[in-house]
């Protein structure tokens, strides 16, 4: 009976895998990183790519190209993408346009966005498109972008770092401690403004301090998204088998990984685990779980290694010595152990990835500086 049950489980899985092998595109590598919905306060709505429906947003949801977010009055949102944090203020609409190993591109349709860029790998950048311009950041720093209610003007504040503003007929650098309001798609008019620091900026700064003070940063790669959540919900210890591991402390005695949460289909990765716990993102999508003398421990990759996002690090068990990790058509149930050959899951053939709605304007040359400190300036 047990053998029959195992075969009944294994055969459909093998057929599904064979079907994927027949489609070469199904095995193409998905992006090595995803955007994480890290913080929600107030009424926040979410519309998955390709759908017209809106749902209540939940933390730890991985975001993909075409996903939309709306923060209502009094709401705040934080999105983490690698070393960058995008924070939405109230009455703000955001769309994820593009995301891969180098580029993170979003469209700010209305409202206010704070960007805190902590680090960039070579060739990485963040681009924020608004109704009248595109703002590109390639340097660590702190930035604020605000779209006027009319939609025909955008305020760009660079508290630290440096950014580039692109329009249809002009492009400018905005340096540290400079703030400008650009009007029209051609950027022919712009004015120097005094940067304000309001309650939204105060909240953003508090989130920055929390991240920078994280103890867990000592033990994980900087590419692991959500590691700061581990500080308040577990302890780090050393075990002979794996070295430094993290153990959750606020769970029941019979707790197991991948128990409290749900599975969702997120293209291009496939079935993806969304953990209910605020600390569940990092331990569900990076590293491995191991049972050490009856205690579940999370084993991160070496600090120096580049972390690679996976929809879930789990294994199917179909019989003795059989183990495979997939996220195609079936929902995994058992966490993969360190040293297993589960790897990260490949993408699937289901659906097509939405194309970016706005492409970067082609600019032949960028002036050395366009931040003249005059009340109103007009380019020629």
Q: What is the pTM assigned to this prediction?
A: 0.78
Chain segment 130-187, per-residue pLDDT in tens: 999 999 999 999 999 999 988 899 999 999 999 999 999 899 999 999 999 999 999 9
* C-alpha to C-alpha distance for 323 and 329, rounded to whole angstroms: 16
Quick one: average pLDDT of 69-89?
97
Whether the pLDDT of residue 357 is over 80: the answer is no
Chain segment 179-222, per-residue pLDDT in tens: 999 999 999 899 999 998 999 999 999 999 999 999 999 999 99
Q: Which residue has the higher pLDDT, 366 or 306?
A: 306
Percent of the residues in the chain that have a pLDDT greater than 70, as a whole number: 75
Whether the pLDDT of residue 17 is over 50: the answer is no
In which band, very low, low, confident or very high, does the pLDDT at 379 lie, cut at 50, 70 and 90? very low
Chain segment 314-340, per-residue pLDDT in tens: 653 333 333 444 433 344 444 555 554
**How many other C-beta atoms are found inside a 10 Å radius of the C-beta of residue 308?**
18
- Closest Cα to residue 290, out of 240, 324, 330, 328? 240
Whether the pLDDT of residue 22 is over 70: the answer is no
* C-alpha to C-alpha distance for 211 and 380, rounded to whole angstroms: 44
Instruction: Report the b/e string of 125-148 with b at 16+ CB within 10 A.
Output: bbbbbbbbbbbbbbeebbbbbbbe
**Distance linking the first and last C-alpha atoms of the chain:** 82
Average pLDDT of the chain to the nearest whole number? 80
* C-alpha to C-alpha distance for 178 and 193, rounded to whole angstroms: 8
HSE of 227 in the Cβ direction (CA atoms, 13 Å)?
28
Domain locations in the chain as residue ranges: 2-28+212-335, 35-206+357-378
- Kindly report the CATH class assigned to 35-206+357-378: mainly beta
């Amino acid at each position: 009976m047990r053998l029959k049950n195992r075969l009944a489980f294994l055969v459909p899985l093998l057929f599904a895998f064979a079907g994927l092998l027949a489609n070469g595109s199904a095995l193409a590598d998905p992006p090595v990183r995803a955007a994480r919905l890290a913080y929600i306060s107030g009424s926040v709505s979410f519309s998955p790519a390709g759908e017209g429906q809106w749902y209540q947003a939940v933390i730890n949801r991985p975001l993909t190209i075409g996903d939309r977010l709306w923060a209502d009055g009094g709401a705040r949102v934080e999105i983490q993408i690698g070393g960058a944090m995008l924070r939405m203020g109230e009455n703000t609409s955001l769309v994820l346009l593009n995301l891969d190993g180098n580029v993170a591109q979003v469209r700010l349709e209305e409202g206010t966005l704070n960007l805190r860029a902590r680090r960039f790998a070579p060739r990485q950048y963040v681009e924020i498109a608004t109704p009248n311009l595109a703002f590109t950041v390639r340097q660590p720093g702190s930035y604020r972008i605000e779209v006027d209610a009319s939609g025909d003007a955008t305020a760009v504040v660079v508290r630290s770092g440096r950014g580039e503003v692109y329009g249809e007929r002009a492009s400018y650098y905005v340096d540290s401690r400079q703030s400008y309001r650009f009007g029209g798609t051609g950027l022919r008019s712009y004015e120097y403004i005094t940067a304000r620091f309001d309650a939204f900026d105060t909240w953003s700064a508090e989130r920055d301090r929390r991240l920078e003070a994280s103890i867990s940063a000592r033990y994980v790669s900087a590419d692991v998204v959500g590691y700061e959540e581990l500080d308040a919900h577990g302890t780090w210890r050393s075990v002979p088998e794996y070295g430094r591991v993290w153990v959750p402390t606020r769970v029941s005695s019979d707790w197991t990984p991948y128990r409290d949460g749900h599975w969702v289909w997120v293209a291009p990765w496939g079935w993806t685990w969304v953990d209910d716990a605020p600390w569940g993102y990092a331990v569900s999508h990076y590293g491995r779980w191991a049972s050490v003398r009856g205690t579940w421990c999370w084993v991160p990759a070496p600090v120096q290694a580049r972390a690679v996002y996976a929809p879930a690090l789990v294994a199917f068990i179909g019989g003795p010595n059989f183990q495979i990790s997939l996220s195609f058509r079936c929902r995994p149930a058992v966490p993969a152990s360190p040293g297993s050959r589960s790897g990260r899951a490949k993408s699937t053939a289901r659906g097509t990835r939405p194309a970016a709605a706005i492409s970067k304007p082609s600019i032949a040359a960028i002036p050395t500086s366009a931040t003249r400190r005059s009340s109103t300036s007009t380019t020629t």
